[in-house]
Amino acid sequence: MKTVWEKYSPTELKEVEKFCKNYREFLTLTKTEREFVREAVKLAEKEGFVELGKKKGKLKAGDRIYTVNREKNLCLFVIGEEPLTNGLNILGAHIDSPRLDLKQKPLYEKDGLALLDTHYYGGIKKYQWVARPMALHGVVCKKDGSVVNIEIGEKEDDPVVGISDLLIHLASDQMKKTADVVVTGEALNVLVGSIPSKNEKEEPVKKAILKLLEKKYKMKEEDFLSAEIEVVPAGKARDYGLDSSMILGYGHDDRVCAYTSLRAILAMNKPKRTSCCILVDKEEIGSVGATGMHSKWFEMMVTKLLERQGETSLVALNDTFSNSMMLSSDVSNAFDPNYPEVCDPKNSAYFGCGIVFNKFTGARGKSGSNDANPEYFAKIRNVMEKEKVQFQTCELGAVDVGGGGTIAYILAQLNMEVIDAGIAVQNMHAPYEVVSKGDVYEGYRAYKAFLKKM
């Protein structure tokens, strides 16, 4: 298959570069679901989107609306010319990424060092998260209702933190262990301090860190109980490759699909069918909780929209969902010449070959997948070809090598057409993942075509 690089004109190449520079900068700013929602709302408001509660009266074609659930879950709509009951064109993606979360009682002192205890979030190879600069991002929620935002390790003169690794000189026993236990979950302890407080006898290093936190954030040790602090790789997303054709960054899974979907709905203007973009939390741990895809929040929001068009029956809600179409976007595995044995080459995704469609995902005989209807994918193929969007299809690895799931099957339960789509990445779930700029741009074009033409 030819790559997009061979087909782009010089003008298009400039567009790709501009779009990807914006994405790269956005990715650097958004390392948590909360940060993604915050920055996405800024972009949306700039493009004329109004918070649902602030929009008065009946909704009419061309209205641009967003709504936020608990700072971690965002939904945007551009109202179409057709009634909502004719169905929505929905783009969905998740904005949480694998990381290390602080435990509720994280801070302790051991052998003269202060450390923070973590519990990892999502599927990670634990040995990849040691001996690298890490940053702390999150919120501390206090009893008086105030919320302190934490971001340490990103500014040029900020300190970073990190997890130690065993020196190779003394690792002969460790090197014989299998990779899943070479670094254990309980060993993922973040080193945060080493200066003892002068007047303290007990745990003087820990006390010194507490004093520092009190001074800078007015927080006490017990405030960790109601904090949500994520330990993530520190630093910027970067251009990757001598030809700068790729982007290296933390959390492409799945912010690369979330960002391109967001930009696509921001570009919509009075579509025929109502455009929708839903960005959810908690996918990496099973789409659970009030802000995950299993939450009823999305249905509640669509019910509210219908009410604003004078439709209050359950029948109207059911019709809306039954007539809806969705691209459930999540990253795919980019074929890696270092590890060809885990893939079927003809059913793999390749860098620079465009947006990926997966009829199914899952594991062990498609278990847990949505398995899209071929009638639906035929329609999508037709639209992509007409709009000259380059696409490829793939499976996540060869049969029975492994597998993975997405949010696709959850919305399909509302009886809508859903197919998995997305952008191919290398190093999925590693601290730094890689995408091709051509695929990022083609993803954006595919999402626009879907919203406009389906």
Q: Which residues bind Mn ion (CB under 5 A)?
A: 253-254, 330
The nearest distance, CB 97 to Mn ion, in angstroms, is 7
Cα separation, 396 vs 335, whole angstroms: 10
Question: Cβ neighbours of residue 343 under 8 Å, at least 6 residues apart?
Answer: 333, 335, 397, 398, 401
Cα separation, 88 vs 327, whole angstroms: 11
What amino acid is encoded at 27 in this protein? Answer: L
The nearest distance, CB 80 to Mn ion, in angstroms, is 28
- Judged by CB, which is closer to Mn ion: 97, or 274? 97
The nearest distance, CB 435 to Mn ion, in angstroms, is 13
Query: Six-digit token pair at 298?
Result: 């999305």
Beta strands across the sheet bearing 227-233: 147-152, 134-141, 227-233, 99-110, 113-121, 189-193, 162-163
- Judged by CB, which is closer to Mn ion: 35, or 253? 253
The nearest distance, CB 100 to Mn ion, in angstroms, is 15
- Judged by CB, which is closer to Mn ion: 33, or 254? 254
Listed residue (358, 368, 300, 297) closest to 332, CA to CA? 358
- Judged by CB, which is closer to Mn ion: 254, or 439? 254
3-state secondary structure of 178: coil
- Judged by CB, which is closer to Mn ion: 99, or 452? 99
The nearest distance, CB 137 to Mn ion, in angstroms, is 18
The nearest distance, CB 125 to Mn ion, in angstroms, is 13
- Judged by CB, which is closer to Mn ion: 212, or 430? 430
Listed residue (415, 411, 417, 416) closest to 297, CA to CA? 411
Instruction: Report yes or no: 273 and 82 within 8 Å, Cβ to Cβ.
Output: yes
DSSP codes joined into one string, 255-306 = HHHHHHHHHHHHT--S-SSEEEEEEES-GGGTS-STTSTTSTHHHHHHHHHH
Cα separation, 306 vs 311, whole angstroms: 5
The nearest distance, CB 33 to Mn ion, in angstroms, is 13
The nearest distance, CB 34 to Mn ion, in angstroms, is 18
The nearest distance, CB 251 to Mn ion, in angstroms, is 10
Cα separation, 351 vs 376, whole angstroms: 25
Cα separation, 378 vs 450, whole angstroms: 13
- Judged by CB, which is closer to Mn ion: 33, or 253? 253
Sole residue written with tokens 């006390």: 207
- Judged by CB, which is closer to Mn ion: 330, or 420? 330
- Judged by CB, which is closer to Mn ion: 162, or 422? 422
Q: What is the 3-state secondary structure (H, E, C) of 6-55?
A: HHCCHHHHHHHHHHHHHHHHHHHHCCCHHHHHHHHHHHHHHCCCEEHHHC
